[in-house]
Amino acid sequence: INSISYLYFSLSNSPKVSKLLYTMSDEEADVLYEVRDRTAIITFNIPSKLNALNGEQYLKLGKFMERANEEEGTVMTLIQSTGRFFSAGANFADNGLMDVDPQLLFTHEYWLGKFVARNVWLTNLFNDHKKILVAAVNGPSIGLSTGLLMLVDLVYVHDLSKFYLLAPFANLGLVAEGAASATLFARLGWSKASEALLLAKPISGADCYNVGLINKHYDGKFKSTEEFNQQVYKEVTDAFENLHEDSILQNKQLLKLNRDQYINHANSQEVMRGLGKWLEGVPQTRFVQLANKDVKHKI
């Protein structure tokens, strides 16, 4: 009851939250999809919110991932973004979160749909994607989006000095999402994964490059994110141009076999524990504090 009263009080008294709710409704072109030759391109297009995605936008991303998976004639799916961040993770002012009866915000009925089902589905879509999955990473990545980023095959970063990964779940009263509890140690090593998940510390671009997460970086040399995205598109499409498509796709399946068991296990364990956290009520309060800048991340 205390948590419910606190949340209700905070929501109704937060000018920041009302401003964010107001500005969120105009997002028609928030996540974009296009097919260019043999590549499906998904673009996060909410630069004013650092490409933080609300529940509807993560759903849209998932539907585009399904479409890209089934797209005839493509070999690659490229995830790219706009502005200065790749993605600031879940939108802390999501009206799916803020605009509901506060009593509902502590129930199984609410979180099984809004959290458990959504995260399992989205994580599986990224893990099971059949095409070469590439990310053109224009800037930092946070939260659930970092979990999803760790499931792509190839990572290209514009500027190492501006890039970091943040998995701030411990600062939000949450646990790892998007199978990050399995992928972070696989891609960064145990020590860096522990720093990321246990201490909620950002992992710098240099560290990510040194441990082999990043295929290539460009020293921030492009004038715009669009120019950088274009370069990544060109480089990867040139790289697979003369290769045998079916061999590429079968090799992807073979590579993936090695990780399936631990990704799928992490996915189900994470959402069970995450559900417990939402029912306990800590993240709801932390999200409001974050929106009001009463809680900050280590960056």
Which residues are the active-site residues?
177
Q: Is residue 139 at the binding interface for ligand CO8, with CB under 6 A as the rule? A: no
**Which residues between 144 and 173 bind ligand CO8 (CB under 6 A)?**
144, 168, 172
Distance CA 141, CA 86 (A): 5
Helix 245-280 to helix 282-291 angle (10° resolution) is 100
Q: How many residues bind ligand CO8 (CB under 6 A)?
A: 24
Among the listed residues 159, 177, 195, 207, the single contact to ligand CO8 using CB under 6 A: 177
102: which residues sit within 8 A by CB, 6+ positions away?
Answer: 4, 7, 8, 11
Taking the least distance from each CB to ligand CO8, the nearer of 55 and 220 is 55
Retrieve residue 287's tokens. 């999200």
176 contacts ligand CO8 (rule: CB under 6 A): no
Taking CB under 6 A as the binding criterion, the range among 28-36, 47-55, 131-139, 211-219 that sits at the site for ligand CO8 is: 47-55
Candidate segments 2-10, 64-72, 141-149, 203-211, binder of ligand CO8 by CB under 6 A:
141-149
Q: Using CB under 6 A, which of 27, 32, 33, 55 touches ligand CO8?
A: 55
Nearest to 102 by CA among 2, 14, 170: 2
On whether the CB atoms of residues 176 and 197 are closer than 8 A, the answer is yes
Residue nearest ligand CO8, Cβ-based = 143
Question: To the nearest whole angstrom, how small is the minimum distance from the Cβ of residue 278 to ligand CO8?
Answer: 8
Dist CA 57 CA 51 (whole Å): 10
Q: In angstroms, what is the minimal distance from the CB of 136 to ligand CO8?
A: 19
* Closest approach of ligand CO8 to the CB of residue 234, in Å: 29
- Considering the rule CB under 6 A, would residue 49 count as an interface residue with ligand CO8? yes
Q: Is 88 left (phi over 0), alpha (psi -120 to 50) or beta?
A: alpha
- Which tokens belong to 153? 């095959």
Helices (H), the chain: 2-12, 15-24, 55-70, 95-98, 108-111, 118-127, 144-149, 180-188, 190-198, 205-210, 225-240, 245-280, 282-291
Contact between 62 and ligand CO8 (CB under 6 A)?
no
Interface pick for ligand CO8 out of 90, 155, 157, 193 (rule CB under 6 A): 90
The verdict on 52 binding ligand CO8 (CB under 6 A) reads: yes
Nearer to ligand CO8, 132 or 182 (CB): 182
**Residue of 143, 150, 160, 163 interacting with ligand CO8 (CB under 6 A):** 143
Q: Which of 188, 166, 170, 183 is nearest to 273 (CA)?
A: 170
Measured from the CB atom, the residue of 19 and 221 that comes closer to ligand CO8 is: 19
- 3-state SS class at 212: coil
DSSP string of 12-45?
HT-HHHHHHHHHHTT-SSSEEEEEETTEEEEEE-
What are the residues binding ligand CO8 (CB under 6 A)?
49-50, 52, 55, 88-94, 97, 114-115, 142-144, 168, 172, 174, 177, 290, 297, 299
